[in-house]
Structure 1
Amino acid sequence: MRGQLQEAAATFAGGQDALEGILLGLVDDVDRAVREPLEIFPVCHHSPASALAMARRLREKQPKVVYLELCEDMAPLLTELRNCKLPVAVQSFATEIDGFPAEWSPLSVVAPITEASAEYQAIAYALDTPGVELVLVDRSSDHVFQWDARGEQHERTDQAADPDAPPAEEEAALHGDAVGVDIGDLRPRFAELEEHLLRHGRVRHWSEWWHQYVELPLGDSDHDTYRQVMFLIGSLFRRLAPGDPHRVRVDEDRERYMWTRMREHRAATGVDPADCLYVCGAFHAASRVEEFGIEGADTFEISPRSATKWQHGLIPSSHAAIEAQFGLAAGSVSIAATVWAKNVKRTRVQPYRLEGQAGTKKSRAKKKAVAAAPPVPEIEAADRLTGFLQQPPVLDALDEAELRGWSVDVVRAARRNGYLASTADAIAVFETSILLAGMRDRAKPTPYDFQDAAVTCIEKDAVPGRRDVRRIVEIMMGGDRVGQVGYESLPPLARDVHYRLAPLQLPLEKRGVQRALLDIAGRPELEACSDVLWMLRRLLPHGAARPIMGERKLGERSIQESWDLALGTHQRALIELGYEGVSIEQVLEQRLRRTAYAPTATAATVLEAVEDATLYLGSRRLADELGSHALTVLAAERSVDGAPEVLRRVRRLLAYYRTSEPVLPPWIESFVKAGYAHYCTLLPVAFTDEDATVRQVAAMLGFLFSMESLALSLGCDRTQLELAVGQSHPEDPSKTALLWAAQTHLGTLPRAELRSRCDELLGNPLVVPSYPRYLSGFVHALEPVPGLTDFVVEAVSNAFGRLPDPVLLPWLPTLITTLRKDGADLAPLLIREAGRIFPGRLAALDEWVPPWLAQPVVDAARRGGRTGGGAGGGAAHAKRSTLLVAHPQTCDALAGLLGYDGAWASADPGADAGSGTGSGTGGGGAVLVGRHPETAAALGALLGG
């Protein structure tokens, strides 16, 4: 082969150059790997040919030590594979990181394992064969992040993926953002080379090329041919890879790491290299580092691990998750599983399966060891490789029965999914598959040819919501098989959750949504299940535990609840909770502390943590601790961004503590006292700050006004609030209206003057365009001053009645969106007040007079009563006298309270003053009415006097 490649280089390149070095280097790499005394078994990730060759070689060689390219810290978990349903992934997980940037958290590394993979065959053989040791020699999970730059662990995607492929389902996200570690990362890293292979191979993506030109030919090859072909492919891809210094260094360091670990193990155990088998990816098998081989140099120093605390476990995986993480074509892993089952049946090779593996039967007896085959001479091995590469494609007879069955099954599945498919379509799919295989120079239609034919013949149009034919073919070929972790292999937290939810009597380990009905009033023991479900809803992703009926608020508990549970579907998330603690209460407490003490935490987020601690954990200790921390965070804030949320949560907590406990907790009293002084200090700046919104300033005023009585009882000074309002000088119209509302609440701005200011704004043509912004301020003022609701209704009504249409109509959408976004909780106040003021029937609207329009009559009566002059004033005075004479009891009682004791004088000025009680307006009642005529005038106006 060396001479043939040298002649080819001279022929095609015209002389000795780099091409000759590459071609001859391939032979050198293969020769070096074959001569190594410790047998190297190159594999490709999730390759049925590799798995079949591995099972065959293990039964022939019966090695005593199996070195496997897998993270060395994952070794203790491999025995737990017996309790799982494949595919699953071995995971290393870390939330408490030390030595890595904080933004990387959480760190996660997964190694997916399927039955049609060489690593599973090696694991099953080593664990079920007595006297065999399995040694993982690849870098640890900690070194994965030490060596790889963040964001570069897996940049590869399938370049030629179908653009019309459906979006990935939830199974494709089972691995999350974890870094994938696989055995046999065998794919060209030279983009031009991959494009060349795809174009000349007449395929769409790399998975199809590998299946057609490597997977199928190697399925029937002998052991030596298989090894040398895989060595050759790995060397080719390695030598034609672009010279990325970082990636080359990581690859070579991995190889140095693995050979160093193997030499350390051999030195400690003294095992014979002939009794060992080294399983690694073909890319790393053709290595050129100095540490290669059992006689390699011991110059590589393994760096120590960081102080990061790693947790390990098994998580469910799926074919779609593996394809998405490792850049494989959709459906390729399912097709590989189908090919694996077919190869096992065809070759009658008995694969290794773990005893007790889910879905398998226990073997009756151990298989007897097969004598190792005699070593093949090197020249014969080279001749086998040369012959394999030179032989033409074998024209297999078309397996018509298999293709016919596929065609019938896909039509049946298409009809179940709403397609108008018939027998004619099955015939068309059958013939088109043969036609496509012939056009692509294939001796036999592959599953990919059949998939293209089915799409062409059946999917004549795309209907929204209908499952496409490509997906139907994938399901028919095996579907997206999803693994499951057994109960015994779950972490303690997950098992505790299943145990505590056992009274629900539901198979929670199954995938899909299950409905749970909780009659807590009839079965009080279900209240504990309710507590667990609410905590799971807080901790797990959306959809894992979703309440349909029932809610949980401070001070409220439902007597009946209904839940949709999908714990089996979200098993990975539940398992990862087990990495953080031994119970969900512990995990929730840790997360609340982490949120509250985070550098970016605000007073609002800390108060939310306090509320969650009370709501889900019922922990007064944790709530008091976080509440005291909220006081510290609030004192350090210099902005008012979180004021609305702080106001909402403090009000809710105060209402809860006032109704459930005899006294308020000390922390919330201190929080109110400190918050009162804090917001008084920030108020003048917030009124003039352009970044502070009206809603935020209104929330500050709401805190100050609603907490004022409590703050004053705790020793605060109201003068501080009055000074803060007096020092506020906003320029924005909405904030100006908000300031007027605050002054009205404090008593420094009478309502009559506030009404006159609004009238002046409507009467000024220069200010009319900005009047809607004043109204927005008044609407937000309902938060701190709800007593102005009637005035806001009056202001809005006057605006609708007096504003011109060019100003009013463009402003209406703004008013509606503002109320929906910022004033959703304030709109009911306006609606109720408007319903109280406005008439309930349309017929009464014509005669209806708004209360604010009748108010000037009362004011005129007041002015007349005070002056006492004029005919109008005398008439009003006479009406008041008549009213007081008719109803003297109220005036007598009020006069008695104020210390007046006198008799009533005659209503007639000329009558005798002492004519008796009820006959005049003299004495104490007269003095009182004379000093305070407004009360009598208002009462007379209300009674129509």
Structure 2
Amino acid sequence: MIDGTFAALRDQLTQAAETFAEAPDTVSEILTGIVDDVDRGMAERLEIFPVCHHSPASALAMARRLRQKQPKVIYLELCEDLRPLLTELRNCRLPVALQAFAGEIEGFPPDWGPLSVVAPITEASAEYQAIAYALDTPGVELVLVDRSADHVFQWLPRDDSEETTEPEAGGGDPDEDAGMHGDAVGVEIGDLRPRFRELEGHLLHHGKVRHWSEWWDLYVEQPLAGADYATYRQVMMLIGSLFRRLTPVGDRRLRTDEDRERYMWTRIREHFGKAGVEADDCMYVCGAAHAASRVEQFGLDSTAGFDITPPSGSNWLYGLIPSSHSSIEAQFGLAGGSVSIAAASWEKALKASGLTPFRLSGQKGGKPRKVKPVPADPVSGDANRLSGFLSTPPATRELDEAELLAWSVDIVRLARKNGYLSSTADAIAVFETSILLAGMRNRARPTPYDFQDAAVTCIEKDTVPGRRDVRRLCEILLGGDRVGQVGYEALPPLAQDVYDRLKPLGIDLRKRTVQRVLIDLSAEPQKRQGSRLLWTLRHLLPSDSVRPIMGVKKLGEESLQESWDVSIGSRQRDLIELGYEGVTVEQVLEQRLRRKVWSPDATAAIALRAVEDSILYLGSRRFTNELGARAIDLLKAERTVDDAPEVLRRIRALVAYYRSVDPKLPEWAETFVTTGYAHYCTLLPTAFTDEQTGLRQVGAMLGFLFTMESVAIALGCDRTQLELAVKQSHPETPAKLALRWAAQFQLSQLPMSGLRERCDDLLGNPLVLPSFPQYLSGFIQALDPVPTLTPFVVELLSKAFGRLPDTVLLPWLPNLITTLRANAAELVPVLVREAGRTFPGNLAGVDTWTPPWSIPDTPREAVTVAPSGPVTELAVRHSTAAQAIAAALGHDPAMPEFTPGAAGGSADAAPEVAALVARHPDSATATAAVLGVAG
């Protein structure tokens, strides 16, 4: 006990504990300890102003006290490194949040990044009143004394034991504005809520309320709204001490609170000793729980020290981001609509009291004001006000019928606009039900929460016809989800640059609406820079702030007309955080691409994607060559082929693009092709036998080797290396074995007749049939590197469906479908198109249709021709091709059986072919010369 101001109250509480408590010693210790905490806080010579976050009562008391005391120094519980941001509040529309952001972290677990701390500011808050007074009053110094953003994360536990705040019942807003703070750590002044669950449940039950926000509004906010300053201070300290003393032993939040108090009092004494001001000219604004502190560093006269650790090496950046009532509720676990109701209560209290609040000049509704003194309270601020406040019942507030009637009519009107079939009868029902609920809860007048419950009961039916339910409509009616906006002057340079560059497109980013932008690049080529900026923002921003409706941005493709939906004005946070990374979006993109390709987990595929992004959005040849060189180094260092499909897809697109704009490939692309050719030839035998390497990866390797073969050989590579690699490959799985056969066919190591013979043997072997879908999957995967196999795969499928009995085919089909879906889903359409060309197009043609693979080719060694018939010899050797050519030229493709060695057989055995040759002698002679047939 510090003095005798509260001696009488202490004795009353002790007697009450002895009379009513089962364990009087424990209860008496808690109750007298609370009084001691209040006594200690009131006796401190530095005036302590306890507050609760976003509390209208705290804001009213702050505005009154500032006009009365007019302090010269205000110590404020807020992260000390956020101080430079406060001057930018005058360029914003509240609510906004102060943000500290670190993308490059050091000294913290890597999975924590990026680090973000936000401190939301609303107009109905005591901290904003103190900030506005200090910034607009000459000679007043505002000092932030709480731990820095870096220390916020230094003091977090490094394991998963961190406790999180659970949202209250009724919290959680479905609107997108509820997530404006992202996953940032929230910092606020005066977090007053019981940390003992049984205590909170007891208060809610006996207070007949649904959640903590309603209890606080009913039993603290309303009684303190018109209380004098001394009563306000003592009651807030009492509540803060109660919650602190009933916190479970060992709670991490209690230890953090005590460290914060040591930190803040250390900073206060440091500044107070240097400032040379009197304690009567200073004020300390902190949460009510911190005002009831018992740490040894408490007070200006304390000599206890506290070691403040140095900051980590993280690079912290600072700015303002827009906030909203719903985002504050979602982040700090408040009931939905509680902050909006607090804002409405603040406006109502200002009108009733006639008090002029402090507002920063330059803000909406803010004007420079001369601060006028306010008479002091008639009773000394050190007098005991707790005894009278605790023993006197709250003043009965009569029913305001006009207010309740206006609410009832307006909620019905708002419900009808949102699709509800509400009427005047519903308004009457809401009015009467609100009064009924208030009476059942022992209240003289309905609170906004009673009205909300009544509206839900009377208006909401089985379904919600629109996007908003009735509870959400009540929140909009009572206060609305106000959404703040950061002004142009307070934006980072990158955001200002974006605003300026998009202005020629007719986009006003100060509007929160979705703006449709139409760009005709053929008629207005000067807007191409704006179009490129929109595509770059689309690539960089995580949300749909910039969404293309019409237009494309691909290699080698340019849109002539584009249509965009731009909503950056309502998603400023994404653009502001982008501004932490650089001065322009091009600089940010270049930095991101450079970090991406030089990160420890970078791969050649990632580097090739960076090359593509560089071409599309930056257009810097130097930077593109740098990224390409990095892709070559990454490809050389890879020991697996997991990314081979992605590498193949991207290098194909890049080579095709460069060939379309320049006859010669850039040096890095040529080197990448030759390096990849040698690299995949070296890894091919291992990939065929490695069980960890998938079929798609091996197929992509072959695709790279075959499709890039002409470029690689032209640049000096040797095809023998690929032939040896295929010969040295000895796969064991059926799918990879089929893939190897396809590669051998492409390299002319395996003729089509041999491939067909092997597959016919597979279909004829009952032991192999269960694994035949895997062989087929391998062949289908080979369609990418060896597209000439497409007719053969169609033939193979046809033979399987035609030869296999139902007892084998029906159980085999599900396995075939699942195998194709897993390994070759994108190649199945190629087979479908080939089948459409091969099979007859109508049902009538099926009966007379002959499969092309059923026509036997005459073996070359069985043909004997007269020396005078080389062209006929050529036609006979390649009868299938000759028939196809004959049909294409309008001749009968049917050929009579040719008898080798028959006299005059060269002309008589194939009259149609002979006639075709006679009509086109030059072509036939040239073809014979190419094939090495003697003329």
Fold conserved between structures, TM > 0.5: yes
Aligned position for 1:41: 49
Displacement of 1:763: 1.6
Mapping for residues 1-20 of structure 1, pairs under 5 Å: 1-13=9-21, 17-20=25-28
Mapping for residues 669-688 of structure 1, pairs under 5 Å: 669-688=670-689
Letter in 1 for 2:90: R
Q: In structure 1, how many angstroms separate the alpha carbons of the residues matched to 2:929 and 2:496?
A: 78
Q: What does the per-residue CA deviation read over 1:305-331, in whole Å, with 9 as the maximum and x for residues that have no partner? A: 122211111000011110111010111
Aligned position for 1:496: 497
**2:195 aligned with 1:194, yes or no?**
no
Letter in 2 for 1:859: T
Is residue 61–residue 373 contact of structure 1 (8 Å, CA) maintained in 2? Answer: no
**2:879 aligned with 1:873, yes or no?**
no
Q: In structure 2, how many angstroms separate the alpha carbons of the residues matched to 1:645 and 1:387?
A: 77
Displacement of 1:374: 7.3
Q: In structure 1, how many angstroms separate the alpha carbons of the residues matched to 2:38 and 2:161?
A: 28
Quickly say closer, same or farther: Cα 1:373–1:451, change in 2 above 3 A.
closer
**2:817 aligned with 1:791, yes or no?**
no
Quickly say closer, same or farther: Cα 1:767–1:123, change in 2 above 3 A.
same
Displacement of 1:831: 3.3
Quickly say closer, same or farther: Cα 1:533–1:160, change in 2 above 3 A.
closer
Mapping for residues 64-463 of structure 1, pairs under 5 Å: 64-149=72-157, 155-158=163-166, 160-162=168-170, 168-244=174-250, 246-357=252-363, 359-363=364-368, 365-370=369-374, 376=380, 378=382, 381-382=383-384, 384-463=385-464
Letter in 2 for 1:731: E
Q: In structure 2, how many angstroms separate the alpha carbons of the residues matched to 1:797 and 1:668?
A: 42
Q: What does the per-residue CA deviation read over 1:769-799, in whole Å, with 9 as the maximum and x for residues that have no partner? A: 3222222211111111011111112112222
Moved more, 685-694 or 128-137: 685-694
Mapping for residues 462-477 of structure 1, pairs under 5 Å: 462-463=463-464, 465-477=466-478
Is residue 861–residue 876 contact of structure 1 (8 Å, CA) maintained in 2? Answer: no
**2:38 aligned with 1:30, yes or no?**
yes
Quickly say closer, same or farther: Cα 1:896–1:666, change in 2 above 3 A.
closer
Q: What does the per-residue CA deviation read over 1:562-610, in whole Å, with 9 as the maximum and x for residues that have no partner? A: 1111111221000001110000001001111111111111211111111
Partner secondary structure for residue 92 of structure 1: strand
Partner secondary structure for residue 227 of structure 2: coil
**2:846 aligned with 1:838, yes or no?**
no
Partner secondary structure for residue 355 of structure 1: coil
Is residue 158–residue 205 contact of structure 1 (8 Å, CA) maintained in 2? Answer: no
Q: What does the per-residue CA deviation read over 1:217-262, in whole Å, with 9 as the maximum and x for residues that have no partner? A: 1111110000000000000111111223643332112111111111
Aligned position for 1:863: 862
Letter in 1 for 2:731: P
Is residue 229–residue 377 contact of structure 2 (8 Å, CA) maintained in 1? Answer: no
Partner secondary structure for residue 568 of structure 1: helix
Displacement of 1:893: 8.1
Aligned position for 1:782: 783
Quickly say closer, same or farther: Cα 1:658–1:899, change in 2 above 3 A.
closer
Quickly say closer, same or farther: Cα 1:280–1:893, change in 2 above 3 A.
closer
Quickly say closer, same or farther: Cα 1:132–1:113, change in 2 above 3 A.
same
Moved more, 241-250 or 678-687: 241-250
Is residue 404–residue 431 contact of structure 2 (8 Å, CA) maintained in 1? Answer: yes
Mapping for residues 650-669 of structure 1, pairs under 5 Å: 650-669=651-670
Is residue 694–residue 777 contact of structure 1 (8 Å, CA) maintained in 2? Answer: yes
Is residue 62–residue 372 contact of structure 1 (8 Å, CA) maintained in 2? Answer: no
Q: In structure 1, how many angstroms separate the alpha carbons of the residues matched to 2:276 and 2:743?
A: 87
Quickly say closer, same or farther: Cα 1:806–1:488, change in 2 above 3 A.
farther
Quickly say closer, same or farther: Cα 1:747–1:443, change in 2 above 3 A.
same
Q: In structure 2, how many angstroms separate the alpha carbons of the residues matched to 1:286 and 1:403?
A: 39
Q: In structure 2, how many angstroms separate the alpha carbons of the residues matched to 1:288 and 1:689?
A: 67
Quickly say closer, same or farther: Cα 1:212–1:852, change in 2 above 3 A.
same
Is residue 864–residue 876 contact of structure 1 (8 Å, CA) maintained in 2? Answer: no
Is residue 60–residue 373 contact of structure 1 (8 Å, CA) maintained in 2? Answer: no
Displacement of 1:492: 0.4
Aligned position for 2:559: 558
Letter in 2 for 1:232: L
Aligned position for 2:692: 691
Is residue 195–residue 248 contact of structure 2 (8 Å, CA) maintained in 1? Answer: yes
Quickly say closer, same or farther: Cα 1:738–1:12, change in 2 above 3 A.
same
Q: In structure 2, how many angstroms separate the alpha carbons of the residues matched to 1:269 and 1:275?
A: 11
Quickly say closer, same or farther: Cα 1:842–1:260, change in 2 above 3 A.
same
Letter in 1 for 2:308: I
Letter in 1 for 2:306: F
Is residue 493–residue 579 contact of structure 2 (8 Å, CA) maintained in 1? Answer: yes
Q: What does the per-residue CA deviation read over 1:914-937, in whole Å, with 9 as the maximum and x for residues that have no partner? A: xxxxxxxxxx99x837xxxxxxxx
Q: In structure 2, how many angstroms separate the alpha carbons of the residues matched to 1:881 and 1:422?
A: 98
Aligned position for 2:533: 532
Query: Runs of 5+ in structure 1 lacking a partner?
Result: 901-923, 930-945
Quickly say closer, same or farther: Cα 1:23–1:247, change in 2 above 3 A.
same
Quickly say closer, same or farther: Cα 1:663–1:877, change in 2 above 3 A.
farther
Partner secondary structure for residue 928 of structure 1: coil
Identical counterparts, % of pairs: 65
Q: In structure 1, how many angstroms separate the alpha carbons of the residues matched to 2:706 and 2:378?
A: 94
Q: In structure 2, how many angstroms separate the alpha carbons of the residues matched to 1:564 and 1:151?
A: 43
Is residue 93–residue 486 contact of structure 2 (8 Å, CA) maintained in 1? Answer: yes
Q: In structure 2, how many angstroms separate the alpha carbons of the residues matched to 1:304 and 1:699?
A: 52
Quickly say closer, same or farther: Cα 1:893–1:699, change in 2 above 3 A.
closer
Q: In structure 2, how many angstroms separate the alpha carbons of the residues matched to 1:307 and 1:497?
A: 30
Letter in 1 for 2:453: D
Is residue 265–residue 298 contact of structure 2 (8 Å, CA) maintained in 1? Answer: yes
Is residue 864–residue 901 contact of structure 2 (8 Å, CA) maintained in 1? Answer: no
Is residue 83–residue 144 contact of structure 2 (8 Å, CA) maintained in 1? Answer: yes
Quickly say closer, same or farther: Cα 1:865–1:206, change in 2 above 3 A.
farther
Displacement of 1:820: 6.1
Partner secondary structure for residue 286 of structure 2: strand
Moved more, 580-589 or 546-555: 546-555
Quickly say closer, same or farther: Cα 1:837–1:821, change in 2 above 3 A.
same
Q: In structure 1, how many angstroms separate the alpha carbons of the residues matched to 2:682 and 2:774?
A: 26
Query: Runs of 5+ in structure 2 lacking a partner?
Result: 1-8, 867-872, 874-895
Displacement of 1:723: 2.3
Displacement of 1:885: 6.9
Quickly say closer, same or farther: Cα 1:807–1:271, change in 2 above 3 A.
farther
Displacement of 1:150: 5.4
Q: In structure 1, how many angstroms separate the alpha carbons of the residues matched to 2:430 and 2:902?
A: 102
- Aligned-residue CA RMSD (Å): 2.7
Structure 1 length normalisation: TM-score? 0.90
Q: In structure 1, how many angstroms separate the alpha carbons of the residues matched to 2:380 and 2:152?
A: 38
Quickly say closer, same or farther: Cα 1:390–1:516, change in 2 above 3 A.
same
Is residue 83–residue 356 contact of structure 1 (8 Å, CA) maintained in 2? Answer: yes
Quickly say closer, same or farther: Cα 1:703–1:860, change in 2 above 3 A.
closer
Q: In structure 1, how many angstroms separate the alpha carbons of the residues matched to 2:129 and 2:182?
A: 26
Aligned position for 2:890: none
Moved more, 705-714 or 184-193: 705-714
